[in-house]
Amino acid sequence: MRLKHITACILALTVATGATAQDTSIIVQSTTSTANSGLYDHLLPIFQDASGIQVNVVAVGTGQAIRNAQNCDGDVLLVHAKPSEEMFVAKGYGTIRTDLMYNDFVIVGPEADPAGVAGMTNVQAALAKIAESEALFASRGDDSGTHKKELSLWARSGVDPTAASGTWYRETGSGMGATLNAGIGMGAYVMTDR
């Protein structure tokens, strides 16, 4: 991760501390992907030493993080679903939305590649082939930013995978790590961030 991104994270947390009613701690509602990346393990000790403010991270999917913050259960949001973030601010739940980091998404799958999508560069075509072949696909199914992105890509491919829920399309209702493990266990494709 670049130094400017780390600095931006620290600045974002510092700015957010002015908005909290407490002066000794803040709550960060975060995506599970960011929490699992090790970013907080690196940044929080630096921030806490510099500010004296304890940071409590709640790692959930983007949708749940936003709902938690709407219920006043968060001082800072680190999530990844821009339209939902913009709506959060537009409705008056937040004051500032800024791009802090980015990620991209890839489709991973079983070595046998039953849908024949390995090496494809057009994600909509790959998803359409997965659906057409009814190859197993494990989805987070948790209203996270990754799940929202996955659903938007399915829509652009002309497929409604939820119509096949429980057959070839399996919703785990879990974070990324658990969904990847489930996908491995069942020999399924998974869309994941990297």
CATH fold label, 105-193 = D-Maltodextrin-Binding Protein; domain 2 (3.40.190)
Amino acid code (one letter) for 56: N
Determine the average pLDDT of the residues in 118-127: 96
At 12 the pLDDT is 55
Count of CB atoms within 10 A of residue 97's CB? Answer: 15
CATH fold label, 3-90 = D-Maltodextrin-Binding Protein; domain 2 (3.40.190)
Distances (CA, A) of 104 to 145, 191, 193: 11, 10, 6
Which of 170, 188, 192 shows the shortest CA–CA distance to 111?
A: 188
> Residue 3 in 3-state DSSP?
helix
pLDDT per residue as tens digits for the range 58-104? 999 889 999 999 999 999 999 988 999 999 999 999 999 999 888 88
Per-residue pLDDT band at 117 (split at 50, 70, 90) = very high
Cα 17 to Cα 174: distance, rounded to the nearest angstrom: 30
Instruction: CATH 3.40.190.10 in the chain: give the residue spans.
Output: 3-90, 105-193
> Which DSSP string do the residues of 120-174 spell out, in sequence order?
---HHHHHHHHHHHT--EEE--SS-HHHHHHHHHHHHTT--GGGGBTTTEEE--S
- How do strand 105-108 and strand 189-193 relate by DSSP bridges? antiparallel
> How far from chain centre, in Å, is Cα 25?
24
pLDDT per residue as tens digits for the range 129-167? 999 999 999 999 998 889 999 999 999 999 999 999 999
